[in-house]
Chain A
Amino acid sequence: MFRDVSDVRDRCIGRSTHTLSHYVAGKLRCFLPYSKGMSRNLATLGGGEVWRSREEPQSELTEDIQKARMKDMPVEDMQNPFVREKTQCIMCRYKIVPDYKNVKLLSQFVSPYTGRVYGRHITRLCATQQARLEKEIMKSQSAGFMPYYFKDVAFVKDPKLFDPDHPIRPHRF
């Protein structure tokens, strides 16, 4: 747990045996509270030495104090409690699977002016979902559920999932 640095006199500066440092060294005892993975923090600067009186208090008290000191050490096996929640795209969050028959859902990601599918920088979907969505839209258009060149009139006033009019990068539609 701790070791008695008995060669304290050697550590003291100077050779004279009647200086204050010698007196201090004679009266005090230095020990290093060890724990297996002692972290490098301010408490351990300077070698982590702790100077205590040579006159030891009761051994039980010392043990309790030692245990308490060990508890104060930083916890190593704890996960970061400040981890932020990962942002998810709207379709992953609500676990929506695009279907070629669900024209209303697919039309929400399509321009009302040209009928083109908005890019990922506008729809804010993750790559996989965007690829899925595009595939389903193509299927739907081919199968005759969804128009190609415009957005179905019935779905024009649907709630907007994103703002296509102020894109971070200009788009053609």
Chain B
Amino acid sequence: MNFRERGSGDVNLSHPAQDMIQWKGFPDLLSTLRRSADAIFNKGGIIRKVENLGTRNLPYKMSAHDAVHKKGSYFVFQFICPPASLHDLEEEYGRDVDIIRRRIFKVEAPEEFECTLHEEILPPAYRYMPALGNDFIIVFFRYTA
């Protein structure tokens, strides 16, 4: 099958690849995978690859469809599909009892940038000095979490 790469100019499939992760309960693993794949194909999508990330204990208890889950199988589908059908896909996976959690992420090449650590570790007086050629003010400090 001829895969259409992103940025080809094709209106339908110009959206870049997506990662979809699903966690499933044990029974009928194959049929669940089959259903998920069919959903993508029906929406006019192409699956690039399927990765199996194993079956293990979940990092925390999850409740889905009136059941608490402690173990699950992880699968990653990398696919390309028209952006308009993403909402429908999410809704369809939400209805599937065997899928505990689904997330769709956009696959993007990481942006190139230069490390600015040598500027950030300067003493405060030297951090922003246009005379030395620094044109920016660094916010050194931000509380996280």
Partner of A87, one of B72, B105, B117, B141: B117
Q: Does A53 contact B (CB under 8 A)?
A: no
A139 contacts B105, C-beta separation under 8 Å: yes
Which size bracket describes the interface of B in this complex? Answer: 20 to 34
| Interface core residue of A93, A145, A173 (most chain B CB under 10 Å) | A145
Contacts A101-B53, A144-B23 given: A126-B105 contact, CB under 8 Å?
Answer: no
Chain A residues near B74: list those with CB within 8 A.
Answer: 144-145
Chain B residues near A149: list those with CB within 8 A.
Answer: 60
Per-residue A-contact encoding for B124-135, CB less than 8 Å = 1, 0 else: 000000000000
Q: Does A88 contact B (CB under 8 A)?
A: yes
Partner of B142, one of A119, A128, A145: A119
Which size bracket describes the interface of A in this complex? Answer: 20 to 34
Chain B interface SS verdict (over half) = mixed
Per-residue B-contact encoding for A72-103, CB less than 8 Å = 1, 0 else: 00000000000000111100110001001100
B59 contacts A146, C-beta separation under 8 Å: yes
List 6 A-B pairs, minimum CB-CB distance, nearest first.
A92-B115, A147-B59, A86-B118, A116-B145, A88-B115, A126-B117
Residue positions of B touching A, CB distance < 8 A: 21, 23, 53, 58-60, 62, 72, 74, 76, 100-101, 103, 105, 110, 113-118, 120-121, 138-145
Residue positions of A touching B, CB distance < 8 A: 86-89, 92-93, 97, 100-101, 116-117, 119-121, 124-129, 132, 134, 139, 141-149, 152, 173
